[in-house]
Every structure is written in structure tokens, then in C-alpha cells.
Amino acid sequence: MSRRTSVAHFPCSIARTLDVVGDWWTLLVVRDISLGRCRFEQIHDSLGVARNVLAERLQWLVDNEVLVRRLYQERPERYEYELTQKGEDLFGVLMAMWAWGDTWAAGDDGPPWGLSHRSAGAERSHVCHPAVVCSECGEPIARRRVRVTRPRSRSR
């Protein structure tokens, strides 16, 4: 993968996130693995990206502890990929993009897919739209209601 200038040193969590997943196809790889397309061939078929580019990108995600790689066939060697907890947590970023795409890039046909969510302990699932909210008050976060501050403490 042609790595661009790293901005990991920028003191900004958005920039640091983009340093790991900002590369063009990377979040689509995470999406595919989230949806159960865990093998190299499945991801390759899904994205139609060159094999060497995909291999390099998967290695990048393994190096950054977003994925772990497991041999599932020895001859020829074949691998499948699993999300670490760090990778699982990217699902929130994917869901925020999903919501934006549903609203702003769906075109005349409307959103291509729906989402069904099952709450903890619930037997039935319900139609779900992802929303980005303030964890404290539960309101959707709008830019005009948020201010960047010095951190209260150096750890959470």
C-alpha cells in the first residue's frame, strides 16, 4: 500500500484514527470481515481490488492489531482474518458512515439495506438506524453544541 505521510503524531484522535483506517479500501475490508467475509478470496471477490494491494492492506491491519490472521488450509496456504476488540470497535465508525450514506448518498431508490438490532436480553429485534450521541445525555451530537477542551485528566 502506498503509505501517505503519517499524521499519527498529530495530537488529535480523529487524525490518529485516520492514520490506521484512513486508507481508501481499509474500512471496506473491515466491513467485509464484520459481515462474515473473513477469507482472502471472499474479500478479494467482494472488493475487486488487486491481490497484492489487498494482501498489503490486510498485513497493515494485522500489524496495527485490528485483525488477527489464522491459517485454515495448509496446501496451498490460505488464511482467514478475525477482528480483534480494537477492530470490532471500528463497527461504530462504519455505522456512523452507514447513517450518513443512508441520508446523503442513497439516491432515488433509498437506502440499499436495512439494519435490524437486538437489544441485550431482548428476544426480538427491531429496525435500527445508527445515531452518534453524547454518552452522558443521549442527545445526537451536533457540531454547534460541542466544544473541544483540554482533557480533564490524562487517562479515562
Q: Which of residues 108-127 bind a second copy (CB under 8 A)?
A: 109-120, 125-127
| Window 65-84: residues binding a second copy (CB under 8 A) | 83
Burial 92-111 (b: 16+ CB within 10 A, else e): eebbeebbeebeeeeeeeee
Residue 30 or 58 with smaller CB distance to a second copy: 30
CB of 32 vs a second copy, minimal distance in Å:
10
CB of 70 vs a second copy, minimal distance in Å:
18
Q: Does position 51 bind a second copy by CB under 8 A?
A: no
Single residue of 75, 91, 123, 124 touching a second copy by CB under 8 A: 91
* CA atoms of 35 and 91, how far apart (whole Å): 10
Number of Cβ within a 10 Å radius of residue 82: 12
CB of 4 vs a second copy, minimal distance in Å:
5
CB of 81 vs a second copy, minimal distance in Å:
14
Single residue of 19, 38, 54, 60 touching a second copy by CB under 8 A: 19
One-letter identity of residue 66: V
Single residue of 76, 77, 123, 156 touching a second copy by CB under 8 A: 156
Q: Which stretch binds a second copy (CB under 8 A): 24-32, 37-45, 55-63, 67-75?
A: 24-32
DSSP structural state of residue 124: S
What is the total count of residues that contact a second copy (CB under 8 A)? 85
* CA atoms of 78 and 31, how far apart (whole Å): 20
DSSP structural state of residue 11: S
- Indicate the helix (H) or strand (E) that contains 46: helix 40-47
User: Which residue from 55, 83, 84, 64 is spatially nearest to 22, judged by alpha carbons?
Assistant: 64
